Amino acid sequence: MRAVYKTLLGLGLSSCATALLGSPALSTTAPACERPVYLTFDTGHMQVAPLVAEVLARQQVRATFFLANEPTRTGGTSLDEVWAPWWRTLAEQGHAFGSHTFDHVYWLSDTADGRFLMRPSAGPQPGKSFTWTGAQYCEELGRPAKRFEDMTGQKILPLFRAAGGKTSPALLRAAQACGYEHVGWAPAGFLGDELPSDQYPNTMLLERALRNIRSGDILVAHLGIWSRQDPWAPAVLEPLVEGLKKKGFCFATMDSHPAYREKIQALKLKVDVCASPAKRGGDASGTCAGAANVIDSRARLAEQPEGLSSLPSAGASIIESSAVGETKDIQRR
């Protein structure tokens, strides 16, 4: 651990070292949450990530993180070995995790032959467009899951957030076929950290969030936005958390959200049963065929939904947020 501390200091990440070695541990028992909001973070340039972790630990708040391997301010990437101890600490503290595609790949459009035009903003070929099948998109969703398990020994949830929130019904069906449900955000939950700070100062964003957020809302922010001059975190994050608590809200992770909770629990049971070699070998009914994808490729398979309209009303913001997400600039990073 001392070696990790020295490495982080050498990279100018003193706050990260403090977060790893000196942050207070989150309580192991969370009180009942009757008016939940769901705080989520997408990866980014990571400069504010240690400060975010410090605020969450100090406020005893658990969040859900959606992982992509994006460029960092220090010349690495958000899922590289430098950041592995940081992610491991978050996992130990009880936060939840989902996929954001490994190379932060944007959906651009559906193609006439049933494939998808995609464009990564990270990885070896950022900015180049590719045509992918549903299976290729599923493989991309599974890459952060594998990397996260390699770093932490834990599995992510069978949830993903598309880059920029950009999706189509066909893309969502492709992701569902390999076990991933999409998580958007509520209109009031768009916390604005991607917006230009000269037009949307932190004070404005804080006041707007405290005024508009309602129980059940999914909130979205990032671990660093390249284009914002006045960083949103921790300047807005801590007063936002404190303000929402004063209004009677509490914080929960996405595995407890009513739109996903039962599917995730059903998946866990299915994987436990189907992980047995005897069961998998004699599965005449085919009930373990999907679970084998979870076990063998580390992409956790959820039960197929009857349709988007069948989601509980508390998750309506998830469906609506696909349109909200499309307002986000594809070049924002």
In a domain, 275, yes or no: no
Q: Residue-wise over 142-172: b if at least 16 C-beta within 10 A, else e?
A: bbbbebbeebbeebbbbbbbbbbbbbeeebb
Q: Which two tokens stand for residue 119?
A: 């464009």
Write the pLDDT tens digit of every residue in 97-119: 999 999 999 999 999 999 999 99
Q: Which of 95, 311, 324 is nearest to 191 (CA)?
A: 324
Q: Residue-wise over 24-61: b if at least 16 C-beta within 10 A, else e?
A: eebeeebeeeeebbbbbbbbbbbbbbbbbbbbbbebbb
| pLDDT greater than 80 at residue 18 | no
**Residue 267, pLDDT score:** 73
Write the pLDDT tens digit of every residue in 245-263: 999 999 999 999 999 999 8
In a domain, 123, yes or no: yes
Q: How many domains does the chain have?
A: 1
In a domain, 126, yes or no: yes
Q: Which helix (H) or strand (E) holds 117?
A: strand 116-120
Domain that includes residue 314, residue range: 2-260+302-325
| Whole-number Å distance between alpha carbons of 54 and 34 | 25
- Average pLDDT over every residue of 57-86: 97
Number of Cβ within a 10 Å radius of residue 22: 10
Most confident of 130-134, 279-283, 318-322: 130-134
In a domain, 94, yes or no: yes
In a domain, 291, yes or no: no
Q: What is the mean pLDDT of the chain?
A: 80
- Average pLDDT over every residue of 304-325: 31
In a domain, 86, yes or no: yes
Domain with residue 169: its CATH number is 3.20.20.370
DSSP letter at 153 equals: S
In a domain, 180, yes or no: yes
In a domain, 290, yes or no: no
In the chain, the percentage of residues whose pLDDT exceeds 70 is: 71
Q: Which of 187, 184, 171, 158 is nearest to 299 (CA)?
A: 158
**Residue 98, pLDDT score:** 98
**Residue 270, pLDDT score:** 67
| Whole-number Å distance between alpha carbons of 163 and 107 | 7
Global pTM value: 0.78
- In degrees, rounded to 5, the angle at the alpha carbon of residue 62 between the alpha carbons of residues 45 and 228 is 25
- Hey, is 238 helix, strand or coil? helix
For residue 234, say if its preceding peptide bond is cis, omega within 30 degrees of 0.
yes
